[in-house]
Structure 1
Amino acid sequence: MDVKIILWDIDGTLVRSNGGRVAVNAFLRALCLSCQLEHELPYPYDSAGKTDPQIALEILAAASIAESRASQALEAFAEHYLMELKRQQQALITDLRVLPGVSEILEVLTQRGIVQSLLTGNLEPVARFKLACAGIEQYLDFDLGAYGSDNADRSRLVPIVRQRLQRRLGPDASQADIVVVGDTPRDIACARAGGARAVAVATGNFTKHELEAHRPDVLLDDLTDTHAVVEALLQYSSSLESRQAPIV
């Protein structure tokens, strides 16, 4: 059985903020509520590619919240975060911008019968809500994806996708061709850790040069050239020993 699945990162890959801080403010508000804090919390600069639980724990550690208390607060945090996003839904819809070329690529891959899902640090309910607000949720099989709510360690997420593929399609799916598409070095490292192919796209906070240093299998400026990107996703193959990334 030949199984291929494309796993998309969300923030910086499929969508970006138009400059607002709707999601960030909701995140911080949810942390305050979950820990019953009255003072404001800082948001870390280096959050790109991290999972939501990882970011939450780092923020709380920086605020001198005991590790045991912070860990206990994570479940409540997840509920409050989604609630805060829903409360600000219209502002979030206005703030989210689907990146150029994304809708076209998702549509073409869907027409070709390629399974697409997510590999993201977002909590699963948040991922679903964000992409519904962005209007592109119809292209994605959310049940096969892996999320920050599955494991705070991003490097452990590809095996979770393999397990979900096997449960749905049988043991042969363990050899599925998995392609991870993301905009940070952590996306590349995650793909490597899980035996997946890494496609890096310089649409986030990292330049093409910075991403190239991490040797992805494919390196893209952006997703605007639908034909070239689709061909790169579907046709490019590499051995695990060869890491010279074709630049598209």
Structure 2
Amino acid sequence: MRLIVLWDIDHTLIENGGVSKEIYAAAYSTLVGRPPAGPAKTEGRTDRLIMRGMFQQHGVAEPEWPVVEAALARAGAGREEELRHRGAALPGVYAALAAAAGRRGWVSSVLTGNIAANARVKLSAFDLDPLLDLPVGAYGADAEQRPDLVAVARERAQLLRGVREDVPVVLIGDTPRDVQAALVTGSEIIAVASGINSADELATAGASTVLPDLADTEHVITLLEGFARH
């Protein structure tokens, strides 16, 4: 194995059309008995931190995490058609994922703040899940802070795919938190200005490679090839 590629989901691979915010609101309403006063603050946070922020904002005691995760999973279940109707796979994503999946010696998975159940819902809505090695991925239930997810994915790649400890990791994401996770863990980063953060903001956060989107498959794969250990 020569490379571990970890893709963010929301605003990197797909646009969710506001469905994510509705999932958080629905989970909160189920747990608290009333809707939140405002939308969840996401911006690259893990689901653990997003839900904690909602409870703190409203002065509500935070339930145990397994209870919160179960509520999130129930709130996200069955939303594939809604995602297809309101959202979209972003330009070039299918081709980029297919190309990465086809590279010998690469593990291509996800590093996302979403819990695993909702990550699968979002990816399957656009038929992206067969192009990713999802058991190796790191998800929002695995850690509170995004940088800690890198070690989770690396360990799973070692255990499940026999990847050596020294194989490089590349994160592909659209927020400064994706950039920070790469910098803190010594990973490579390809930042994509397809979310709310501009190319300048991502570069200021420390990303040396910033793309407007993933539309140029050849360029994306060339960049990844440059990170691969030969």
The match for 1:151 among 122, 127, 143 is 143
- Structure of higher CA gyration radius: 1
Specify whether residues 230 and 160 from structure 1 end up closer, same or farther in structure 2 by C-alpha distance, changes over 3 A only. same
Number of paired residues?
227
Give yes or no for the alignment of 1:51 onto 2:51. no
Specify whether residues 39 and 205 from structure 1 end up closer, same or farther in structure 2 by C-alpha distance, changes over 3 A only. closer
* 2:3 and 2:227 in contact (8 A); partners too: no
TM-score, with structure 2 as normaliser: 0.92
Give yes or no for the alignment of 1:111 onto 2:106. no
Aligned partner letter, 1:91 = E
Identity of aligned residues (%): 30
How far, CA to CA, are the matches of 1:29 and 1:120 in structure 2? 20
Aligned alpha-carbon RMSD (Å): 1.7
Give the match for residue 137 of structure 1.
129
Give yes or no for the alignment of 1:193 onto 2:184. yes
Structure 1 consecutive aligned stretches of length 4 or more whose deviation exceeds 4 Å: none
Give the match for residue 4 of structure 2.
5
User: How far did 1:71 drift?
Assistant: 3.9
1:1-248 matches, within 5 Å, as 2-18=1-17, 21-35=18-32, 37-44=33-40, 46-66=41-61, 70-72=62-64, 74-113=65-104, 114-170=106-162, 173-236=164-227
User: How far did 1:40 drift?
Assistant: 3.2
TM-score, with structure 1 as normaliser: 0.85
How far, CA to CA, are the matches of 1:71 and 1:178 in structure 2? 34
Aligned partner letter, 2:52 = L
Specify whether residues 22 and 169 from structure 1 end up closer, same or farther in structure 2 by C-alpha distance, changes over 3 A only. closer
How far, CA to CA, are the matches of 2:225 and 2:79 in structure 1? 37
How far, CA to CA, are the matches of 1:164 and 1:226 in structure 2? 27
How far, CA to CA, are the matches of 2:121 and 2:35 in structure 1? 27
Q: Partner of 2:169: helix, strand, or coil?
A: strand
In structure 2, runs of 5+ residues without a counterpart are none
In structure 1, runs of 5+ residues without a counterpart are 238-248
